[in-house]
Structure 1
Amino acid sequence: MTIGKDLRNAVQTPGSWTTAYTDGTSDEPQTVEEAREGRTLRQLADRGAPEGDVDAIRDVLQERTGGANPTTLFLLAHNGEIVVREEFVGPRHGPEVFEHGPLPVLVPLLRHRGKMLRYLVVETSRDGADVCLEIAGQRDGTTSERVEGRTDSLPKVQAGGWSQPRWQRHSEEIWKHTQSEVAEVVERLTREASPAFIALAGDVRARQLLRDQLSPESAKLVVEVDANTRADGSDDSALREAIEHALDDVFAREMSGAIDATQAEGGRLRAEGVDAVVAALQQAQVSQLFLDARMIAAPSDDDVATLGALDAEPWVAADGAAFEAATEIARQPVAEALARAAVLTDAHVRICEDEPEADDAVREERDARPPFALLRW
């Protein structure tokens, strides 16, 4: 994942930081959203957030945009200004967080950002196409292009006559030319953005013609959806459902591949357990850090295990450890302290989610699994 400069500075620099992770706007009645806003602001004040930070967060919460889907807000305030503001489509991944302290709360944001894959959505028809580069969890596409094809062809089904085959061939050539233009856009965006997959919907014949003109590399990325979303009166529910399934498949493959990498060569590049992972992070040796979602606790939980967060390298320390060039800023829950050190040493943080495969399945009762890491060497 990409960590912005503002966030990196925030987790590196001790100071006065206020974190709010809560539900964003939705299609709920305004009275419900106002009640939630009031509760959020009271909890922040109870946690010791300064008035300036609370006011800045209030301004964001009052920007009600509505929408059919729920959203989630992550806000980080410092000295009365919003330093990090992220809004994600979909429900929260875990409990709300309202905290004020010397360091921001990081894991809820990383949990969302870890699923921000880019993908292409292509909705094509015989007279053109809409191509959009989207990011999972984001409301708007980063790039959207429309291809307008020629409209001087006749429908393929015509009354009989000696000229009908000629008009069919003419129409087919125009459709091929249109899909060639669409393919050029798809290939360019694929080169530039490296999407995880290409969701393809639209007219059946247009989809066939487009696939025929894609490169083998791009064709392998296509997830075809049997729905003509450009037809009058159509909806995109089948397309959106296919995209969700494709995202789940990509996440599962990526996680499985990363975990397999930690077990290669007899586990030589794997560190497991808090002590081993702390030692690897202190050497900037971690390439990917894996945290069980059940490790994620509210920062105010008095019973959660903690580690020392340091103001300089090596950034994290176990109990009783001392370093000449670094001082402990605060005690943080284990997941937070490890994630902070990972961010500051350019390691990728992966949250191992623990959701049942079936909607009606019972969630397994177990303790959190220990953290582990894929090492650079």
Structure 2
Amino acid sequence: MVANNLAHNVKNTRLVEEICQHPGPFLSVYLDVRRDVEEAVHQLNVRWRSAREDLLRNGAPEDLVDLTGERIQAGHHAAGAAARMVVAADGRILLDDVVTAPGDHTALTWGPLPDLVAWLADRNTMLPLLVVLADREGADFERYDAWPETPEATADVHGDTEHMTKVLVGGWSHKRYQRRAENTWRHNAENVAAEIEHQVESGVRMVAVAGDLRAQGEIQHAVGERTRSLLVNLETGGRADGTSRQALDHAVDEAIRKVVAADQLEAVREFEQEAGRHGAAATGIDAVLPRLAQGQVRTAFIAPDAASARTIDPARYPGIVLPAGAAEHAGLRADLTVLCAAAMTGAEVQVGSWAMADDGISALLRW
């Protein structure tokens, strides 16, 4: 699995670990909060009223429900699609996160475990990204800790402009001007490549390069092999006036989807390869949970549709690490149990439509 994406997923899993260290019980709400549709505020109020009734009916304390509702209905800066994940327990908010690349799953639970699987699945698709808008003079940079949120940092490189454009001259000077222009383009691309190499050190998963085709080619030639493996050249976008930002964003979205799909396929292939080695992988709830109890799991795979339909009794798996209040419950959702147990033992968690086990739970092992 690509190292930068692994680090990104681990960062999200560590947030889960911090929440699962609380004893619970937990109130978990993951709802659509987009504000770019007609009557968005009214629609959100309707969704929340329905959610509130469900939570109260399931035994959630009214004061905690109302505290959560204040966060769900609060304003945010997301311009398009957005969902909000709020987890509360013991009279306070443990997590409040607006996700700008939500899928179609929601969460609405009051129980001994936080319901963070859908949120984690969406968060893990929001990759750290560098956008490079290039021309033959230089480039503008936008670095995102999680696309498509607002950029964490911006920068620009402006190179030489003298002799940048090939001039239509004749005689002995024609080749000299042409050579100077090409040398200038190449020098500017090298400056851009140096900045890309610097930005990649921050841990981006993908470098999306848009703009002048000649500049894209020069940049690709100038970066190192490792960085070149992260480059994706886009056919739209750039620094020129009148360039469509919307078209650029759509192109980046599509590139991100392809990278996420490729990473997931690589994860499946790694599991299949390791499953052929004795003791390197585990398939199914009854095989994975004892390994989690021993801290043996390196990566846990959760297929929510299958795993959320299964329940487990933690007493059957001595040593499993869960929030203190969860140990008393015999009917814990399998997906939430594995998520907390994996996060609290330092394992990575991958959420997707994995086909490794009928019950939706599998794992790669540390030893």
Q: When the two structures are superposed, what TM-score results if normalisation uses the length of structure 1?
A: 0.80
- What is residue 346 of structure 1 aligned with on the other side? 346
Asked if the contact 2:268/2:354 (under 8 Å) is kept, the reply is: no
Q: Which whole-Å CA distance do the structure 2 matches of 1:344 and 1:354 have between them? A: 22
AA aligned to 1:314 is I
Change in CA separation of 1:327 and 1:296 when aligned onto 2, cut-off 3 Å: closer
Matches within 5 A, 1:308-327: 308-309=313-314, 313-315=319-321
Residue from 230, 240, 244 that aligns with 1:221: 230
Task: Give, in angstroms, the shift of residue 202 of structure 1.
Answer: 0.5
For 1:321, the equivalent position in structure 2 comes to none
8 A Cα contact 1:129 1:147, kept in partner: yes
| 1: CA distance, partners of 2:173 / 2:328 | 83
TM-aligned CA deviation for residue 140 of structure 1 = 1.7
1:206 is matched with 215
Task: Write the deviation string for residues 190-238 of structure 1: whole angstroms up to 9, x where unpaired.
Answer: 2331x33321110122222222321222223221112242222121455
Match of 1:305 in 2: 310
The one of 98, 102, 111 aligned to 2:112: 102
Residue of structure 1 equivalent to 2:137: 127
1:15 has 2:24 as partner:
yes
Give the whole-Å Cα distance in 1 for the aligned partners of 2:34 and 2:267: 35
CA contact (8 A) 1:69 1:90 kept: no
Confirm or deny: 8 A CA contact 1:124 1:207 kept in the other structure: yes
Structure 1 residues 39 and 229, CA, compared in 2 at 3 Å: closer, same or farther?
A: farther
Q: Counterparts of 1:327 and 1:91 in 2: how far apart (Å)?
A: 28
SS at match of 1:74: strand
Provide the rounded CA distance (Å) in 2 between the counterparts of 1:326 and 1:84: 19
- TM superposition shift of 1:105: 1.5
Q: Secondary structure at the match of 1:70?
A: coil
Query: Is 1:50 aligned to 2:68, yes or no?
Result: no
Contact 2:300–2:342 under 8 Å retained in 1: yes
Report which stretch shifted further, 33-42 or 220-229: 33-42
DSSP-derived class of the 2:201 partner: helix
Q: 1:248 matched to which residue of 2? A: 257
Cα pair distance change 1:25/1:245, threshold 3 Å: closer
Match of 1:360 in 2: none
| Residues 1:9 and 1:58: Cα distance change in structure 2 (over 3 Å) | same
Deviation at 1:3, TM superposition (A): 4.3
Greater Cα shift, 150-159 or 196-205: 150-159
**How many equivalent pairs are there?**
350
Match of 1:118 among 120, 125, 128: 128
Cα distance in 2 for partners of 1:253, 1:120 equals: 18
TM-score by length of structure 2 reads: 0.82
TM-aligned CA distance change 1:371 to 1:65, over 3 Å: closer
Separation of aligned partners in 1, 2:125 and 2:78:
21
When residues 152 and 38 of structure 1 are mapped into structure 2, their CA distance, relative to the original with a 3 A threshold, is: farther
**Correspondence 1:1-377 to 2 at 5 A:** 1=9, 2-3=11-12, 7-28=16-37, 29=39, 30-65=41-76, 68-94=79-105, 96-153=106-163, 155-157=165-167, 167-193=177-203, 195-264=204-273, 266-268=276-278, 269-297=280-308, 304-309=309-314, 313-315=319-321, 328-330=327-329, 331-353=331-353, 369-377=359-367
8 A Cα contact 1:53 1:81, kept in partner: yes
- Change beyond 3 A, Cα 1:231–1:308: same
Match of 1:176, SS state, is: helix
Cα RMSD after superposing both structures: 3.2
CA apart distance, 1:168: 4.6
Structure 2 spans left out of the alignment, 5+ residues: 1-8
Tell me by how many angstroms 1:158 deviates: 5.2
Mean CA deviation greater in 267-276 or 27-36: 27-36
Instruction: Structure 1 unaligned segments of length 5 or more: list them.
Output: 298-303, 317-324, 356-366
* Cα separation, 2, equivalents of 1:213 and 1:6: 38
Q: Distance in 1 between matches of 2:76 and 2:294?
A: 45
Residue 122 of structure 1 and its aligned partner are, at CA, apart by 1.1
SS of 1:192's partner is coil
CA distance in 2 between partners of 1:161 and 1:142 (Å): 51
| Shift in Å, 1:142 | 2.8
Output the CA distance in 2 between the equivalents of 1:327 and 1:223: 45
Following TM superposition, by how much is the alpha carbon of 1:376 offset from its aligned partner in structure 2, in angstroms? 1.3
**1:35 Cα shift?**
2.5
Letter in 2 for 1:205: R
Distance 2:62 2:172 in 1: 82
Between the aligned partners of 1:22 and 1:92, the Cα distance in structure 2 is: 11
Percentage identity across paired residues of the two chains: 28
Comparing 131-140 and 74-83, the one that deviates more: 131-140
Task: In structure 2, give the amino acid aligned to 1:39.
Answer: S
Cα distance in structure 2, aligned partners of 1:4 and 1:216: 30
* Cα deviation, residue 175, structure 1: 3.3
How has the CA–CA distance of structure 1 residues 63 and 308 changed in structure 2, closer, same or farther, with 3 Å as cutoff?
Answer: same
- TM-aligned CA distance change 1:327 to 1:219, over 3 Å: closer
Question: Residue 288 of structure 1: SS of its match in structure 2?
Answer: strand
